[in-house]
């Protein structure tokens, strides 16, 4: 039955936004763990570790996120593993975010001058101590603006989870469209909600970036 797009539909969209945010949070946590590992391996003294992490980044940044979603959602079923949209989305987004965050954080670690490592090393600090007390605290300040910027990418990209039936904002938009036949109004509303989530973060990231430049 065809209905009008009403305030109730808008509330449904807002309700579905929770799942957009939940997926973002899970992906950020999972991706953060993977990313931290990737970044540390990429600055490791052991060449095979660097290559391994580099290969991971190369593959993930060279394949569409959609492929990962489909591999996890459809592909794993051939091994007799039933994968729910939640698990498939969480896994895909963690893998994806891990590669990008890893690269961002590696850049921040490497932006700290070599001489800081040298100064730590010549005081007798171990590699891990140098990272922990000298490099990471400085890199952290550099990392915040681009990490917030990536968070915006992540929120937007969770929309792709709609294609495996994960009900978040975009999927809810598709469902609402199907019942109201108001695609223009519905998708414009959906876009507006994404904008309301992302724009403040974008601005915040820019402000942080500017402050960092002033401080230098």
Partner 1 sequence: MSLVELNDVVKRYGQHTVLNGVSLSVDKGEIIAIIGRSGSGKSTLLRCVNGLEPIQGGSVTVDGTVVNDPGTDLRKLRQHVGIVFQSFNLFPHLSVEKNITLAPKVVKHVPSGEARRLAENVLRKVGLAEKIDAYPDQLSGGQQQRVAIARSLAMQPDLMLFDEITSALDPELVGEVLKVLEEVAREGMTMMLVTHEIGFARKVASRVVFMHEGRIWEQGPAAATLGSPRTPELETFLSAVLH
Partner 2 sequence: MTYSFQFRDVFAAWDSLLDGLILTLELSLFTMVMGLLIGIAGASGRVYGPAWVRRPIAVYVEAIRNTPLIVQLFLIFFGLPSAGIKFDADTAAFVALSINLGAYSIEIVRAGLEAIPRSQIEAGQSLGLSGWQIFRYVIAFPALKMMYPSLASQFVLLMLATSVVSQISAQDLFHAASIIQSRTFRDFEVYAVVAAAYLALAMIFRLLFAGVYWLLFARR
Interface with partner 1 by CB under 8 A: which residues? 115-116, 118-126, 129, 133-134, 137-138, 141
**Residue 44 interface partner, choices partner 2, partner 1, none, CB cut-off 5-8 Å depending on type:** none
Selection from partner 2, partner 1, none that 70 binds (CB < 5 to 8 A by kind) is partner 2
Contacts of 169 (CB under 8 A, 6+ apart): 13, 16, 17, 19, 20, 159, 190, 193, 194
Asked if 156 touches partner 2 (CB under 8 A), the answer is yes
Answer yes or no whether residue 88 interacts with partner 2 by CB under 8 A: no
Question: Of the candidates 63, 129, 138, 180, which one interacts with partner 2 according to CB under 8 A?
Answer: 63
Contact 97, 24 (CB under 8 A): no
The listed partner (partner 2, partner 1, none) that binds 178, CB under 5 to 8 Å by sort, is: none
Torsion sign across C-alpha atoms 131, 137, 143, 147: positive
- Nearest distance from C-beta of residue 140 to partner 1, angstroms: 9
Give the number of other Cβ atoms within 10 Å of residue 21's Cβ. Answer: 14
> Measured from the CB atom, is 91 or 131 closer to partner 1?
131
Counting contacts by CB under 8 A, is residue 62 touching partner 2? yes
- Helix ranges (H only) for the chain are 7-42, 47-60, 65-73, 85-111, 114-122, 127-129, 136-157, 169-180, 183-215
Contact present, 96 and 68 (Cβ < 8 Å):
yes
187 binds partner 2 (CB under 8 A): yes
d(CA 139, CA 141): 5
* Residue 56 in the binding site for partner 2 (CB under 8 A): no
Alpha-carbon gap, residue 24 to 128, rounded angstroms: 30
Backbone angles phi and psi of 84, in degrees to 5:
-80, 160
By the 8 A CB rule, do 176 and 13 touch?
yes
Is residue 159 within the footprint of partner 2 (CB under 8 A)? yes
Cα 88-85-34 angle, rounded to 5 deg: 25
User: Which listed residue (43, 148, 173, 205) binds partner 2 by CB under 8 A?
Assistant: 173
Number of residues that bind partner 2 (CB under 8 A): 42
Pick the piece of the chain touching partner 2 (CB under 8 A) from 76-84, 104-112, 117-125, 140-148: 76-84
Partner touching 177 among partner 2, partner 1, none, CB below 5 to 8 Å by kind: partner 2
Interface ranges with partner 2 (CB under 8 A): 59, 61-67, 70-71, 74-80, 152, 156-157, 159-160, 162-163, 170, 173-174, 177, 182-188, 190-191, 194-195, 198-199, 202
């Amino acid at each position: 039955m065809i209905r009008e797009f009403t305030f109730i539909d808008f509330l449904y969209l807002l309700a579905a936004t929770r799942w957009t945010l939940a997926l973002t949070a899970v992906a950020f946590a999972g991706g953060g763990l993977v990313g931290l590992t990737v970044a540390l391996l990429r600055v490791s003294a052991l060449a095979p570790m660097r290559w391994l992490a580099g290969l991971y980044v190369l593959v993930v940044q060279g394949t569409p996120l959609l492929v990962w979603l489909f591999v996890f959602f459809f592909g794993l079923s051939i091994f007799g593993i039933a994968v729910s949209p939640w698990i498939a989305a969480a896994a895909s987004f963690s893998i994806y975010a891990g590669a990008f965050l890893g690269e961002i954080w590696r850049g921040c670690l490497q932006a700290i001058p070599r001489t800081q490592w040298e100064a730590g090393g010549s005081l007798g600090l171990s590699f891990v101590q140098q990272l922990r007390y000298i490099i990471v605290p400085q890199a952290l300040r550099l990392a915040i603006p681009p990490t917030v910027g990536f968070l915006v990418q992540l929120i937007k990209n969770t929309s792709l989870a709609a294609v495996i039936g994960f009900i978040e904002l975009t999927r809810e938009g598709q469902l609402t469209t199907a019942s109201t036949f108001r695609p223009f109004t519905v998708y414009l509303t959906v876009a507006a909600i994404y904008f309301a989530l992302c724009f403040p973060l974008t601005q915040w990231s820019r402000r942080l970036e500017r402050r960092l430049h002033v401080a230098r």
